[in-house]
Amino acid sequence: MTHDEALFQFLLRMGDNTLILGHRVSEWCGHSPVLEEDIALANTALDLIGQTQFWLGLAGEVEGQGRSADDLAFHRDAWDFRNLLLVELPNGDFGQTLMRQFLFDAYQSVLLGRLISSSDERVAAIAAKASKEVAYHVERSADTVVGLGDGTEESHARMQAALDYLWPYVGEMFTGDEVDAAMADTGIAPDPASLQEDFNVLISRVMGEATLSVPNAKYSHKGGRSGVMHTEHLGHLLTSMQWLQRAYPGAAW
């Protein structure tokens, strides 16, 4: 794998995470339990799609085949996506959506904090811009996890169930491969395993306040970042996200 091929894979992972999660979160638009949360979730979704334009835009540039961010978002099939499995999982109830959001925000805030000092200044610039948005996302999703976790009997039970369901998808964030090794060697991105300590500190603080127990299970699902095996959910998401470009290829307005 050449350096640019590894960088391309890394950028796809960054961009596909924000694209797929952005799309998932946008599914709540008009359906949230209260108006204020509806607007807040739509804002988060839009931030994530905005970050996607930068990551996938740079990915297309690095690939050098003339593909734009839109081409990469709408003209690839499931096996070409490099997002974490966590972000493609269905929304579930509002609590599960916010738990997934917090787990991702916590990971993303630690990762972007490192990428700000990336040896590639294009990566550093995107990270600097995105980290301001993500600092707000993580504060908001953490507050909601605490509010619902340490809330009523029902909200607590739902949040614990959400954490139990989602936790096996967390391990994938910290499992590196040859792409990560190439990024770490050149100082472009940190070794994923090195993010785990800061992530765990944030998770234990928030889950403690939320009166939720982090599961002990060590097993983790993987295959999203590598593209080896996505869940069945990604294909369904793409049929709706990519519908227009599939039905009317190249349509623009």
Partner 1 sequence: MKNEWPLWEVFIRGQHGMSHRHVGSLHAPDAEMAIKNARDVYTRRNEGVSIWVVEARHISATAPGEKGPMFEPSEAKIYRHPTFYDIPDEAGQM
User: Could you list the residues that contact partner 1 (CB under 8 A)?
Assistant: 34-36, 39-40, 43, 136, 139-140, 143, 147
* Nearest distance, CB of residue 49 and partner 1, angstroms: 15
Provide the minimum distance between the beta carbon of 44 and partner 1 in the complex, in angstroms, as a whole number.
9
Q: Which is nearer to partner 1, 136 or 165 (CB)?
A: 136
Which of residues 142 and 241 has its CB atom nearest to partner 1 in the complex? 142
Q: Least distance (Å) from partner 1 to the CB of residue 97?
A: 16
Short-list 108, 112, 253, CA closest to 189: 112
- Pair 68, 134: CB distance under 8 Å: no
Tokens for 183, please give them.
Answer: 């990024």
Nearer to partner 1, 147 or 227 (CB): 147
Least separation in angstroms between residue 152's CB and partner 1 is 9
Judged by beta carbon, residue 48 or residue 238, the one nearer partner 1 is 48
Shortest separation between residue 133's beta carbon and partner 1, angstroms: 12
Looking at the Cβ atoms of 74 and 94, the one nearer to partner 1 is 94
Q: Give the residue with the Cβ less far from partner 1, 45 or 189.
A: 45
In three-state form (DSSP H/G/I as H, E/B as E, the rest C), the secondary structure along the chain is CCHHHHHHHHHHHHHHHHHHHHHHHHCCCCCCCCHHHHHHHHHHHHHHHHHHHHHHHHHHHHHCCCCCHHHHHHCCCHHHCCCCHHHHCCCCCHHHHHHHHHHHHHHHHHHHHHHCCCCCHHHHHHHHHHHHHHHHHHHHHHHHHHHHHCCCHHHHHHHHHHHHHHHHHCHHHHCCCHHHHHHHHCCCCCCHHHHHHHHHHHHHHHHHHCCCCCCCCCCCCCCCCCCCCCCHHHHHHHHHHCHHHHHCCCCCC
Min dist CB 165 to partner 1, Å, is 25
